[in-house]
Amino acid sequence: MTTPHTAPQPRADDAQPVDGPALGTPAPTTLRREAGTAYFPIAFIARFPFAMMIVGTLTLVVAARDSIALGGLNSAVLGLGSALVGPLLGAAADRFGQRRVILVAGIVNSLALMGLAWVAFSPLPDVAVLAVSFVIGASSPQIGPFSRTRLVHLILTRLPVARRAKSLNATMGYESAADETAFVFGPVVVGLLATTMSPAAPMIGAALLTLVFVTAFALHPTARASAPSSESPTEQAPAAELRTARVLVLVAGALGVGLFFGTVLTSLTAFLDTRGAGDSAGLVYGVMGVGSTILALSISLFPERFRRSHRWLLFSVLMLASMIAFGLAGGLWGLVGAMAVAGIGIGPTIVTIYSLAADRAPQGRSATLMSMLGSATIVGQSATSALTGAVADGVGAEAAMWLPTGAAAFVVLAALVNAALGDPRAATPSEPTVEERASTLEELPAEHL
């Protein structure tokens, strides 16, 4: 992404980078310089509150109300709030810009997180706990989807033409690796805070992270890069274009990823707990993050003839195979091996789904679609965390160990549907739709801006 390249003559309306050099100065040629060095650590840490919410609220409610059933229901309600409101936040960001939306959502979310830490231990009825959890889900700032939207816009409007395709692939890989890292280690942070301090500590910590880093993300100059203005009013495709089969199959894939995360973490924790090694669940789960991060960051090295539809199918099949081994493992080292293989499968799968989303987003609906994928993931994680916990309690941990196989099979099914739908606008893998049409801004179809 940093190979020197002579930039084409910038147009007057896009010559200025985010940090604002004088008009007419040649635009920087790397995404890091366009976004600013501070952007990436801010956006990375700002993801952790979102990744901590499901496990954190579950831990808090179970400890405070002594009810696993209520804790599971609480996680499901939080996911429902995210599913119903998350895409609306994305739509609002597409219409009004990210800054105002993220600031409002972040303030509400941090207050709700602090509120749950009090309500859970209060004499208020259980419905009050569920109501606050719904607000937490509904107001959760989905930093990953919004970050992808910002960076894709910068790539397609600020980087030299010849480097946009490679930069887009590498950026999707980095973003997916960042999401994966947060989803893997967010629960670990929750466990550390809950065990060393108190069950309420993860919620308080998530609230503080939200106030500091989500606010910093909202105020970062990149928020202006794709914001609508009076000079360039927002033009949006009809909302019906978000309900086409080629878009919904991506939402289904993201849902499957959430199902996968929820079933794996919960069943792994339940199984190891029966073996007296419950404290090691976070470490074993973290093994998956190693391979996932490496493969996600290496996605730009894949040959162009490796079509994205084939990539999704191949790596999701690898996920399925690893989960069959997961169910058969029966011991710690077998679980470690299965998690290592699962990481190799899940990383490229997430990258591919989001890369396809960047390609297929209707005009003016990019943040909406990215938020739909983020909401689908959190819904899948929250719902299956509750379901897997119930199965582990009612039937046994060994039975719960097979639920991740079903989740992986769902991702494979979505990949098969995606492959069957095809892409009528991209005849060959060497001509991916977004990159092919990004040769100039004028040639880029409006549906991809």
- Block means of pLDDT (10 residues each) for the chain, 449 residues, are 41 42 52 76 87 79 76 80 82 81 91 90 89 90 82 76 70 76 74 79 88 90 63 57 81 91 84 73 76 72 74 91 90 87 87 81 72 81 79 84 93 92 51 42 36
If DSSP codes are grouped into helix, strand and coil, which group holds residue 159? Answer: coil
The confidence score (pLDDT) of residue 236 equals 60
Closest CA to 143 of 233, 252, 220, 204: 220
The total number of residues written for the chain in this structure = 449
**Angle at CA of residue 257, ends 42 and 65, nearest 5°:** 80
* Residue 440 burial class via C-beta count within 10 angstroms: exposed 0-12, middle 13-18, buried 19 and up: exposed
The confidence score (pLDDT) of residue 225 equals 63
DSSP state of 11: P
The CA distance from 246 to 309, in Å, is: 12
**pTM for the structure as a whole:** 0.69
Integer Rg of the chain from CA: 21
The confidence score (pLDDT) of residue 326 equals 92
The CA distance from 347 to 175, in Å, is: 10
Q: Are 38 and 220 in contact (CB under 8 A)?
A: yes
Report residue 353 as tokens. 């789904």
What is the chain's percent helix, strand, coil content, to nearest 5?
A: 75, 0, 25
CA 351 to chain centre: 10
Q: For the chain, give every domain's residue range.
A: 39-228+240-443
Helices 281-297 + 164-196 axis angle, to 10: 170
The confidence score (pLDDT) of residue 7 equals 39
Dihedral sign for Cα atoms in the order 440, 429, 177, 7: negative
Closest CA to 356 of 246, 430, 245: 246
39-228+240-443 CATH:
1.20.1250.20
Q: Are 137 and 224 in contact (CB under 8 A)?
A: no
Query: What is the torsion angle, in degrees rounded to the nearest 10, for the CA atoms of residue 316, residue 319, residue 320 and residue 325?
Result: 160
The confidence score (pLDDT) of residue 435 equals 43
Query: What is the torsion angle, in degrees rounded to the nearest 10, for the CA atoms of residue 340, residue 417, residue 138 and residue 112?
Result: -10
Dihedral sign for Cα atoms in the order 145, 442, 247, 411: negative
**Angle at CA of residue 105, ends 103 and 111, nearest 5°:** 105
The confidence score (pLDDT) of residue 383 equals 79
The CA distance from 60 to 382, in Å, is: 15
Buried/exposed 298-328: b ≥16 CB within 10 Å, e otherwise: ebbebeeeebbbebbbebbbbbbbbbbbbbe
The CA distance from 295 to 299, in Å, is: 6
Q: Are 137 and 53 in contact (CB under 8 A)?
A: yes
The CA distance from 187 to 285, in Å, is: 10
